[in-house]
């Protein structure tokens, strides 16, 4: 069995606590000795080069082992714009480790330079590229699709999203072609991993090849991440690993509001 850790929405630079949390997460990941780590966007809070450099320093032990795959989030497009530093410039690319084939989707767009316009972008051309990428997946490997934005509607988190939904603004909405993406990959992919929403979720679409759709939430505030054990497309339910006791319980309460509690 291989073990894959999923983190998201580190928001490095938002507060000093996020950096402390990231250091603890990396220490925990090294102790767990997972085979690979994916981070599904919003690595930085303001898209600053200084925040990107903090990422490089904090995650250096894992990056040196080539154990990390990243897709950018909307916050990485703000400020200096570090999305291209975090991943390549392709909207759809592939990455692979023994036993794991990953299709990486950059769901961010130029409008994300404004942090208020945080919604993602996914077009037909990108779906075609995902189709083509999956044709190249080695037989017998677990397959994962990584992207930042959520693919199905999820509960409102916070007042800003409540207003957006009420007035029909797009910024809190799921990806316009998110459901179509799921329809196309169901039966061909084992995991769709995303973030953007800070409350973690997980759902399984049943079938001959079940598809697990998981949102990691904001790992630096939760102080926890999921580890999926997998082999040849057989994937276990994500096991939560707690890297530290959250230092700011009120914020954690807010993040978890309305969410199933972490086990
Ligand atoms: Fe985001």
Q: What is the 3-state secondary structure (H, E, C) of 98-122?
A: CCEEEEEECCCCHHHHCCCCCCCCC
Domain ranges in the chain are 2-256
CA of 195 to the centre of ligand 1 (A): 7
DSSP single-letter state for residue 12? B
What would the CATH number be for the domain defined by 2-256? 3.60.21.10
Burial of 95 (0-12, 13-18, 19+ CB in 10 A): buried
CA of 239 to the centre of ligand 1 (A): 23
pLDDT tens string, the chain, 263 residues long: the values are 999 999 999 999 999 999 999 999 999 999 999 999 999 999 999 999 999 999 999 999 999 999 999 999 999 999 999 999 999 889 999 999 989 999 999 999 999 998 778 999 999 999 999 999 999 999 999 999 999 999 998 888 877 777 777 777 777 889 999 999 999 999 999 999 999 999 899 999 999 999 999 999 999 999 999 999 999 989 988 899 999 876 555 555 555 554 444 44
For residues 155 and 143, give the distance between their C-alpha atoms in angstroms, rounded to a whole number: 27
CA of 202 to the centre of ligand 1 (A): 17
CA of 118 to the centre of ligand 1 (A): 7
CA of 140 to the centre of ligand 1 (A): 32
CA of 149 to the centre of ligand 1 (A): 7
């Amino acid at each position: 069995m291989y073990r894959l850790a999923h983190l998201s929405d580190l928001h490095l630079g938002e507060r000093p606590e996020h950096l402390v949390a990231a250091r603890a997460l990396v220490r925990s990941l090294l102790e767990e000795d997972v085979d690979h780590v994916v981070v599904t966007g919003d690595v930085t809070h303001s898209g600053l080069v200084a925040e990107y450099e903090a990422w490089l320093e904090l995650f250096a032990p894992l990056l040196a082992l080539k154990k990390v795959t990243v897709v950018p989030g909307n916050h990485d497009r703000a400020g200096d714009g570090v999305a291209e530093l975090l991943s390549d410039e392709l909207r759809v690319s592939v990455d692979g480790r023994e036993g794991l084939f990953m299709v990486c989707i950059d769901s961010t767009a130029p409008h994300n330079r404004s942090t208020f316009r945080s919604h993602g972008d996914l077009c037909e051309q990108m779906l075609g590229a995902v189709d083509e990428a999956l044709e190249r997946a080695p037989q017998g490997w677990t397959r994962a699709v990584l992207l930042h934005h959520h693919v199905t509607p999820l509960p409102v988190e916070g007042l800003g999203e409540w207003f957006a939904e009420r007035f029909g603004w797009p910024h809190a909405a799921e990806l316009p072609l998110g459901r179509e993406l799921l329809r196309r990959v169901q039966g061909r992919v084992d995991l769709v991993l995303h973030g953007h929403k800070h409350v973690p979720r997980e759902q399984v679409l049943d079938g001959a090849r079940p598809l697990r759709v998981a949102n990691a939430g904001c790992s630096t505030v939760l102080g926890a991440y999921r580890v999926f054990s997998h082999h040849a497309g057989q994937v276990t339910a994500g096991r939560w690993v707690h890297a530290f006791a959250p230092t700011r319980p009120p914020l954690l309460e807010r993040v978890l509001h309305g969410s199933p509690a972490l086990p």
